[in-house]
Amino acid sequence: MARARVLLVGLDPDIVDYTKSPVPGLTAAKVRAAVEADSAKLETLGYSVKSLYVDDGKTAEAVLTDALTTSRYDCIMIRTGLRVVPPYFLLFEKLINIVHRHAPASSKLCFNSNPADTAEAVKRWVLTAGSDKATAGAAAPAAARGAASGSRTNRGRRS
C-alpha cells in the first residue's frame, strides 16, 4: 500500500500580525516549528506530507489550485489560522471551494484545532499501511461523518 499523501494548507506565518493572536507569545518561528513538528510526526506515522503556505488572498487561490492540479492528495487539511481568525474567514471559504473543484472526490478534508492535534485529525479520515480499515472515521463524531459524506456525494456533480 502506498503512503497516504497529506496536504497541510496554512497561512504564511510571516504575514500574520501576532499582536492580535489569541495565543500569547506566538511568533512566525514558533508557528513554523509547530508545522515542521506536525509534518515530522505524520511522516513517522507513515504519511507523505506537504506543507503549503498561502498568502492573505493575493495568490492563495492560484497557489492551492496549482498544488491540487499537479499532485493528488488523500487528505487535505486547512489549518486553524485560516478558519478561526476573522479576517481570513472569506479566504477559508474560497480555499474550500478550490478544494471542492480540484481535489478528487475521494480526498478527505480534515481540520485541526491546534498544532498538537494535527495527526489525530488526519488519522480520523485517512489510513496508513497496516491500519485497521474498520476504524477509519470511527473517531469522528457521527454528525461530522454525516456532513462529510453528504458533501462528498455532492462533489461528484461538478460544473
- The per-residue pLDDT for range 1-24, each reduced to its tens digit, is 689 999 999 999 999 888 877 778
- The per-residue pLDDT for range 90-141, each reduced to its tens digit, is 999 999 999 999 999 999 999 998 777 899 999 999 987 656 543 455 444 4
Give the CA distances from residue 81 to residues 105, 135, 157, in Å, rounded to whole numbers and listed in that order.
25, 28, 30
Helix/strand/coil percentages in the chain, nearest 5: 55, 15, 35
Find the farthest-apart pair of alpha carbons in the chain and give their distance in angstroms, rounded.
45
Contact 27, 68 (CB under 8 A): no
Domain extent listing, the chain? 5-155
pLDDT of amino acid 156: 45
Helix (H, G, I), strand (E, B) or coil at 93: helix
Q: Does domain 5-155 have CATH number 3.40.50?
A: yes
H/E element, 6: strand 5-11
